[in-house]
A and B are shown apart, each in its own frame.
Chain A
Amino acid sequence: MTTAVVAGKTPDKAAEKAPGAAGAMAGRRILLLVAIWAALATAPVWLPLLGGYTALAGRVLVFGLAAMGLNMLLGFTGVLSFGHAAYFGLGAYGAGLTLRYLVHSTPLAMLAGTLLGGLAGTLFGLLIVRRRGVYFAMCTIAFGQLWYYLAYSWNSFTGGFDGLRDFHRAPIGWGALRLDIESNDTTFYFFLLAVFAAAVALMGFLLRSPFGRTLVAIRENERRSRFLGIPVEQHIWLSFSISCFFTALAGTLYALLNNFADPLALHYSLSGYFVVMTVIGGMRTFWGPLLGAAVFVVLQDYISSMTVNWMSFIGVIFILVVLFFPRGLLGTRRYAAK
């Protein structure tokens, strides 16, 4: 806890004492940004060369966005949700059901899915906003499973255990501006990247705003924030809701990516994956969850192609990360930079 606090404050302290160090810090941050966006923008080119495929990069973006959405709550507000798969899956089902039963329109499907997941989170957040720590986590897990059972047992509407099929993402735009995201995987990847970039920009803006700073203040010392007159419950509720909206948006992209939504997208195992992605990358860093998602998705893809016992490998990864690598990739980098 204390070390992480120190790590979080490092840039400011460095800025006060040594302008040169602050410059180096800013330079490193710009370098990281350039590297991330360059890698993402050219993924369809270099990924096949390394034996990957474009859909894999799409999956990294989708899970990365979901984990970054979770991290807004987990890393920046210090509140532990272990049920974010519910909002991810609701987003996926919302988009899928819209495409299948209502309109053949990608943007409307995304809107519907995001609203469904986000509003469910907003309402549920009201119930649990006063809980803390493991009790908050336990409530989020239990509530998340409700949607899993619903999707699982409402066979006629959701396709039950086999998942929701028979829908396809629709091309977007009109006339000359029409983008064929339906059959062209590369075009769809860039569509995903554009949505991801817009969402991440909004998230960055929120976290740098006074609102975002207040969330960090609550994380660092809830009691002191309360004494300062910050409405803590209201902020945690807002943070939970916004984070659910981002994760639901990621869920809609997941449905579009696979043209498929299954109950496992709602299961608490996926919530665990989101949390471990965030921790692998670095809980208290902005880009950590994306990096963690990349590591996790690639590992999972590789291990599940090698062995049927991939579950124990994933489990061992969980345990090793917790015991030996709790600060995560970017966390150690920032820590070392001190």
Chain B
Amino acid sequence: MAQVILFNVTNGLIIGAFYVLMALGLSLILNLSNVINFAHGNFLALGGYLAYTLSPALGYWGALLVSPVLTALIGLLVERLMVRRIYNRDPVYSLLLTFGLAFVMQDVARYIWGPNGLPLGLPDLLAQPITPDLFFITWYRVFMVTIVIVSVLGLFAFLRYTRIGLRIRAGTFDLETVATLGINVRNLRTFNFAVGCMLAGLSGVLAAGQIGLNPNMGDDLLMPSFIAIIVGGVGSLIGTLFGGLLIGMAAALTTVVYPSASEAVIYAILMAVLLLRPRGLVGEEGMMS
């Protein structure tokens, strides 16, 4: 029993880590640009597929570094060509745009890499279990969680200690004032969108090593990420972090008791938060209205 619980706790930690990376990217874009990026799951898949294509040439480690950057570049192009045209319009247009984009990206991935699942090979070192007793904890799982922790810390440090990061945070708070102070808000939003896509691409590479690749691999992560953002509190990245971990853990622990309710418990948390604390667990008053 202890093993079962431990197994599900590590599972929850890993699922939660994916939710966190995905939701942080979504949250960054949502906070600064007021755009819900429906295609975020497809940027995730794109990151994974790029790693699959690059790893024969660059090796796993090279692909791990390069493919999130490439994903960010593609995100940058998408923002420049399409998304930025609708910033000043009714939010319905940004939803429709990214929604259509998600359809196109999914079909393109299917066209290029085929509809069937593909595996992403891991270095031998990572594929080993840590000890024979805890056979389910491979080094890869430890590695994944470490990477997620490092990148989340890196993101928060970036937002706190660099000039661009401070501008992004200031823009989240009051974009008009930031623009008045002479900062190029258009470029700031483009850069921010690219950072969000980079996080998606990184989670894509990590997820590919764990669950393999398929064209709609991001779909299952998208909805929980939305919920993580709402539960944590829109406007707060720390909230998104906790929200993602919370629902990941809750879903995994429910699996121990009653597997078919693991999806339902996420929604139960969502309803409870909307009912009891509408601003979200860490959110500030007024951010959501």
- Residues of A whose CB lies within 8 Å of any CB of B are 1, 74, 80, 82, 127-128, 130-135, 137-139, 141-143, 145-146, 149-150, 153, 268, 272, 275-276, 279, 283, 309, 311-312, 314-319, 321-323, 326
Q: Are the C-beta atoms of B97 and A149 separated by less than 8 Å?
A: no
Tell whether, in the assembled complex, residue B91 and residue A139 are in contact, meaning their CB atoms are under 8 Å apart. Answer: no
Interface string of B84-125 (1 = CB under 8 A from A): 011001111111110111111011101100000000000000
Does B65 count as interface, using CB distance less than 8 angstroms? no
Q: What is the predominant secondary structure among interface residues of chain B facing chain A?
A: helix
Out of B90, B93, B103, name the residue touching A312 (CB < 8 Å): B103
**A312 adjacent to B104 (CB under 8 Å):** yes
- Whether B35 pairs with A134 at a CB distance below 8 angstroms is yes
Interface residues of B in 252-289 (CB under 8 A from A): 260, 263-264, 267, 270-271, 274-275, 278, 288-289
Q: How far is the CB of B68 from chain A (nearest CB, A)?
A: 24
Find out whether the CB atom of A311 lies under 8 angstroms from the CB atom of B95.
no
Known: A74-B92, A139-B230. A319 touches B101 (CB 8 A): yes
B103 near A314 with CB under 8 A, answer: yes
Q: How far is the CB of A32 from chain B (nearest CB, A)?
A: 24
A142 to B274, CA, bound (A): 11
B100 pairs with A131, CB closer than 8 A: no
Which 6 pairs show the lowest CB-CB distances between chains A and B?
A318-B100, A315-B103, A312-B107, A315-B104, A315-B100, A146-B267
Asked if B223 lies at the interface with its beta carbon under 8 angstroms from chain A, I say yes
Assess whether B76 is interfacial by the CB under 8 Å rule.
Answer: no
Bound-state CA distance A128–B280 (Å) is: 12
Which residues does chain B contribute within 8 Å of A279, judged by CB atoms?
A: 92-93, 96
Contacts of A311 in B (CB 8 A): 103-104, 106-107
B97 and A130 within 8 A (CB): no
**Does B229 belong to the interface (CB within 8 Å)?**
yes
Residues of B within 8 A of A (CB-CB), count: 44
Report which of A131, A149, A276 forms a contact with B263, defined as CB distance below 8 A.
A149
Whole-angstrom distance between the Cβ of A165 and the nearest chain B Cβ? 22
Nearest-Cβ distance from residue A246 to partner chain B, whole angstroms? 19
Q: How far is the CA of A264 from the CA of B24 in the complex (A)?
A: 28
CB of B275 within 8 A of CB of A127, answer yes
Question: B92 contacts A80, CB within 8 Å?
Answer: yes
Question: 8 Å CB contacts to A: which residues of B1-56?
Answer: 30, 34-36
Residue of B89, B92, B100, B226 near A138 (CB, 8 A) is B226
User: B227 in the interface, Cβ–Cβ < 8 Å?
Assistant: yes
**B217 beta carbon closer than 8 Å to chain A:** no
Cα A311 to Cα B97 in complex, Å, equals 14
Contact of B274 among A127, A141, A283 (CB under 8 A): A127
Q: Which residue of B lies closest to A78 (CB)?
A: B90
Does any Cβ of A come within 8 Å of B234's Cβ?
yes
Assess whether A309 is in contact with B111, with CB atoms less than 8 Å apart. yes
Q: CB-CB < 8 A to A134: which residues of B?
A: 30, 34-36, 91, 94-95
User: Which residues from chain A contact B155 at a C-beta distance below 8 Å?
Assistant: none
Residues of B within 8 A of A (CB): 30, 34-36, 82, 85-86, 89-97, 99-104, 106-108, 110-111, 223, 226-227, 229-230, 234, 260, 263-264, 267, 270-271, 274-275, 278, 288-289
Beyond known contacts A146-B267, A312-B104: 7 more, CB 8 A cutoff: A130-B278, A131-B288, A134-B91, A135-B230, A135-B288, A312-B108, A322-B97
**Other-chain residue from A138, A145, A283, A323 in contact with B97 (beta carbon distance below 8 A):** A323
A283 to B93, CA, bound (A): 11
What residues of chain B lie closer than 8 Å to A82, measured between beta carbons? 95
A22 to B104, CA, bound (A): 44
Measured CA separation A276–B100 after assembly (Å):
10
A135/B289 in contact, CB under 8 A? yes
Q: How far is the CA of A130 from the CA of B278 in the complex (A)?
A: 9
Distance in Å: Cβ of A146 to nearest Cβ of chain B: 4
Interchain CB contact (< 8 A) of B270 among A142, A309, A321: A142
A267 to B156, CA, bound (A): 35
Q: Which residues of B contact A322 (CB under 8 A)?
A: 86, 93, 96-97, 100
In whole Å, how far is B53's beta carbon from the nearest beta carbon of chain A? Answer: 20
In this complex, what residue of B is CB-closest to A312? Answer: B107
Question: Measured between C-beta atoms, what is the minimum distance from B107 to chain A in Å?
Answer: 4
- Least CB distance, B146 to chain A, in whole angstroms: 30
Q: Are A315 and B34 in contact, CB atoms less than 8 angstroms apart?
A: no
20 contacts between A and B (CB under 8 A): A80-B91, A134-B34, A134-B35, A135-B289, A138-B36, A138-B229, A142-B230, A143-B267, A150-B264, A276-B99, A276-B100, A311-B107, A312-B104, A315-B103, A316-B100, A317-B100, A319-B97, A319-B104, A322-B97, A323-B85
Q: CB < 8 Å: which of B95, B107, B227 contacts A137? A: B95
CA distance A145 to B274 in the complex (A): 16
What are the residues of chain A within 8 A of B288 when measuring CB–CB? 131, 135
Q: Is the CB of B92 within 8 A of A283?
A: yes
Q: How far is the CB of A50 from the nearest CB of chain B, in Å? A: 28
A127 to B278, CA, bound (A): 8
